[in-house]
Chains A and B, each alone.
Chain A
Amino acid sequence: MSIEVIKPGLASSIQDKGRQGYYHLGIPPSGGMDQRSLVAANLLLGNPEGSAVIECALMGPELRFTDTHKVAACGAEMLPRVDGEPQPLNEVFEVPAGAALSFDFVKAGARLYLAIEGGIDVPERLGSRSTYALGSLGGLQGRTLQPGDTLGVLPAHGLATTGRRLPENLVPAFYKRYELRVIPGLYAHRLEPDSAERFYHEDWTVASEADRIGYRMKGGTKLDFIKREPPFGAGDDPSNIVDACYPIGSIQVPSGSEPIILHRDAVSGGGYAMIGTVISADMDTVGQIQPHQKVRFVQVTLEQAMDARARYQHVLEQLRNMP
């Protein structure tokens, strides 16, 4: 019941729905960056929706299966191949014992979720199997996959059916450019008014530093903070604050130049002013944006965020009830 890692891919890690309740000690939630695709891959196989899967970023791994397993791959468009033969995305297929599973280059999206019937078997740490690499915690030895690693698989439950497919209306769409909805706030009042306004009216380009900790943005005009005498303990730069907690999804702008959206492996706090927070319904989308793609930030109210949240939850309900 094991899978051998021949090539690890760019940054493949074990993830589930993440851990909760340790952020006040600096341990972030971790978990799949695109939860919807993680859940879809598990539910296709009949797994509990939060079973541990392999999150594959931009370039997938090559894996040798010592036993036969049914699998499902959802999320970014990276065509799976079994011993070179193309396999469908968003559909259960079988990898026979001894076969190698590999992936083509990513065509759209950024992260693919590979679920195995039964789920990946790594120990639960603080209530989750998710990898938090910065803290060497969870997953396989607290890190991304390496050549020669062996992954255990929990016993198959026998519910998975080859050919079961995600309904067309639940297959995610990927785009060349994205809009991310943001509730302005936190330290937005520290920005010069024209900077606060302009942030939402310019294209931003995702930098190559876009990982599980955060997504850095480039290409927009530098934001100006209102000049002032720094408060005691904050630091000298106008973008500094007395070190505070960083909400997941919050957008900080060190020195005003390159905004960073924190994601599920976030540093839990620090001394840079945040100017708003991406709404929860758009966080999966962030995890599917590739470096060099364009983003616009769109201001929304809490009420609009709650509407988007309800629509997101409706999609999850449809996944749970899919035929």
Chain B
Amino acid sequence: MSNQVTATTRYSQAGDEFLFVELSEEMTLEAFFRSISITQRLRDIDLPGVVEICPANASYQVRYNPDVISAQTLQDTLEKLEQEVASQQVRTLETRIIEVPVLYNDPWTHETQMRFRDNHQDPTGTDLEYAARINGYDSVDVFIKAHSETPWFVSMVGFVAGLPFMYQMVPRDRQIQVPKYLRPRTDTPKQTVGIGGCFSVIYSVRGAGGYQMFGVTPMPIYDPSGEQPHIDASMIYFRPGDIVKYRAVEREEYDNLLAVAEKGQFTPNVTHFTFDLDAFNQDPDGYARRVKEALYEH
């Protein structure tokens, strides 16, 4: 039973404590929605022996105690949950929309990318210029607009503590895609906003990284010392399923927001939202407008 296939779903034993479930080889909103729905149900039924439930972009992983629940029983349960999710009439997700202010083209990521230019596909330009060009945008400004105007789904939290992976909520032919650096950097400023593949991320801690860097956010997203009131006891702000709307800010507003954050007084603009997958699929552009309305008119 180590490698069974049901339709596109693939269950794989990972050692004796993990069951890994790939819902789709390629990234799709559909697969992500199934991942978040199945793992939410698994959380709800509170199955004895299940230790950690980790949704990811188009897959998920369960850590379990095999002395309490067998691998086979766990897999049977997950297959049943998958069928329940597949037969769902209403495909909605209770979530929140979060505005993330971004200073694009900032001096700190600029300085960092210049230090690691030899690791880059285009040693003579900047990450923004490169990303704009290969995605067919006439200018960096138009590219920034494309990055910040559409909502993004937090499809996975991880790599390091609290780092959100985000999937752009637009039809695939308009999704921004950029390769990762040819060789990873050994440094990335904290709270850098960037993209690798089709995923936008916010680096939660300073450190190594390979994604193209576009800007920084003043918003704290990881809080190991417990100083930020908008972050709960888990120390992590983002959850899979959150919807993010970036907002481009100028240097003055960035500095003000950063000062507020440093005093432990940052208040994100956030609103509750019921996401409807079918309504989104019918009209992605109209739906993006509704997300913005929900955020700015609540």
Question: Which residues of A come within 8 Å of B, CB atoms?
Answer: 20-27, 125-126, 132, 134-137, 142, 183-186, 189, 231-236, 241-245, 247-250, 267-271, 274, 277-281, 301-302, 305-306, 309, 313
Are the CB atoms of A269 and B56 closer together than 8 Å? yes
**Knowing A242-B27, A242-B58, A245-B61 touch, does A26 contact B158 (C-beta < 8 A)?**
yes
Are the CB atoms of B13 and A233 closer together than 8 Å? no
Are the CB atoms of A183 and B16 closer together than 8 Å? yes
Are the CB atoms of A185 and B13 closer together than 8 Å? yes
Q: Which residues of A contact B189 (CB under 8 A)?
A: none
Q: Which residues of A contact B14 (CB under 8 A)?
A: 183, 185-186, 247, 249-250, 274, 277
**Partner of A26 from B27, B55, B163, B207 at Cβ < 8 Å:** B163
Are the CB atoms of B20 and A302 closer together than 8 Å? no
Show 15 A/B contacts (Cβ-Cβ < 8 Å), sorted by A.
A25-B161, A136-B205, A183-B2, A183-B14, A186-B14, A189-B3, A233-B198, A234-B197, A244-B56, A244-B58, A267-B160, A277-B18, A302-B13, A306-B66, A309-B16
Are the CB atoms of A305 and B16 closer together than 8 Å? yes
Nearest-CB residue, chain B, relative to A240: B197
Q: Which residues of B contact A136 (CB under 8 A)?
A: 205, 224
Q: Which residues of B contact A309 (CB under 8 A)?
A: 16, 66-67
**Partner of B159 from A270, A281, A301, A306 at Cβ < 8 Å:** A270
Q: Which residues of A contact B22 (CB under 8 A)?
A: 244
Q: Which residues of A contact B56 (CB under 8 A)?
A: 243-245, 269
Are the CB atoms of A245 and B224 closer together than 8 Å? no
Q: Which residues of B contact A232 (CB under 8 A)?
A: 26-28, 172, 198
**Knowing A20-B52, A236-B179 touch, does A183 contact B13 (C-beta < 8 A)?**
yes
**Partner of B12 from A125, A137, A185, A270 at Cβ < 8 Å:** A185
**Knowing A24-B52, A134-B205 touch, does A186 contact B25 (C-beta < 8 A)?**
no
Of A24, A135, A232, A277, chain B has the most CB atoms within 10 Å of the CB of A24
Instruction: Give Cα distance in the complex from A248 to B63, angstroms.
Output: 9
**Knowing A24-B240, A234-B26 touch, does A247 contact B160 (C-beta < 8 A)?**
no
CB of B3 to closest CB in A, whole Å: 6
**Knowing A134-B161, A247-B61, A277-B15 touch, does A24 contact B3 (C-beta < 8 A)?**
no
Known contacts A186-B12, A186-B20; 12 further A-B pairs (Cβ under 8 A): A23-B52, A25-B239, A134-B161, A137-B235, A183-B15, A185-B3, A232-B28, A242-B27, A244-B56, A271-B197, A277-B18, A313-B67
Instruction: Give Cα distance in the complex from A185 to B16, angstroms.
Output: 12
Are the CB atoms of A247 and B52 closer together than 8 Å? no
Q: Which residues of A contact B71 (CB under 8 A)?
A: 302
Q: Which residues of B contact A22 (CB under 8 A)?
A: 52, 234, 236
Q: Which residues of A contact B67 (CB under 8 A)?
A: 309, 313
CB of B44 to closest CB in A, whole Å: 15
Nearest-CB residue, chain A, relative to B240: A24
- What mask results when residues 33 to 73 of chain B are scored 1 for a CB within 8 Å of chain A, else 0? 00000000000000000011111111111010011000100
CB of B167 to closest CB in A, whole Å: 8
**Knowing A137-B224, A234-B197, A302-B13 touch, does A132 contact B27 (C-beta < 8 A)?**
no
Are the CB atoms of A21 and B51 closer together than 8 Å? yes
Is B82 interfacial (CB-CB < 8 Å)? no
Are the CB atoms of A26 and B236 closer together than 8 Å? yes
Nearest-CB residue, chain A, relative to B10: A189
Q: Chain A interface mostly helix, strand, loop or mixed?
A: mixed
Q: Which residues of A contact B239 (CB under 8 A)?
A: 25
Instruction: Give Cα distance in the complex from A306 to B15, angstroms.
Output: 10
Q: Which residues of A contact B58 (CB under 8 A)?
A: 233, 242, 244
- What mask results when residues 126 to 151 of chain B are scored 1 for a CB within 8 Å of chain A, else 0? 00000000000000000000000000
**Knowing A22-B234, A24-B54, A183-B2 touch, does A231 contact B25 (C-beta < 8 A)?**
yes
Are the CB atoms of B60 and A245 closer together than 8 Å? yes
CB of B33 to closest CB in A, whole Å: 14
Q: Which 7 A-B pairs have the closest CB atoms?
A: A233-B27, A231-B26, A277-B15, A135-B161, A268-B158, A245-B61, A26-B158
Q: Which residues of A contact B153 (CB under 8 A)?
A: none
Q: Which residues of A contact B1 (CB under 8 A)?
A: 302
Instruction: Give Cα distance in the complex from A277 to B158, angstroms.
Output: 19
Instruction: Give Cα distance in the complex from A313 to B233, angstroms.
Output: 33
Q: Which residues of B contact A277 (CB under 8 A)?
A: 13-15, 18
- What mask results when residues 163 to 190 of chain B are scored 1 for a CB within 8 Å of chain A, else 0? 1010000001000000110000000000
CB of A215 to closest CB in B, whole Å: 15
Instruction: Give Cα distance in the complex from A279 to B17, angstroms.
Output: 8
Instruction: Give Cα distance in the complex from A309 to B55, angstroms.
Output: 27
Q: Which residues of B contact A231 (CB under 8 A)?
A: 25-27
**Knowing A233-B57, A234-B26, A234-B197 touch, does A268 contact B159 (C-beta < 8 A)?**
yes
Are the CB atoms of B3 and A267 closer together than 8 Å? no
Instruction: Give Cα distance in the complex from A271 to B12, angstroms.
Output: 17
Are the CB atoms of A24 and B27 closer together than 8 Å? no
CB of B191 to closest CB in A, whole Å: 14
Q: Which residues of A contact B172 (CB under 8 A)?
A: 232
Are the CB atoms of A235 and B180 closer together than 8 Å? yes
CB of A132 to closest CB in B, whole Å: 7
**Knowing A24-B53, A231-B27 touch, does A247 contact B15 (C-beta < 8 A)?**
yes
**Knowing A277-B15, A302-B16 touch, does A26 contact B161 (C-beta < 8 A)?**
yes
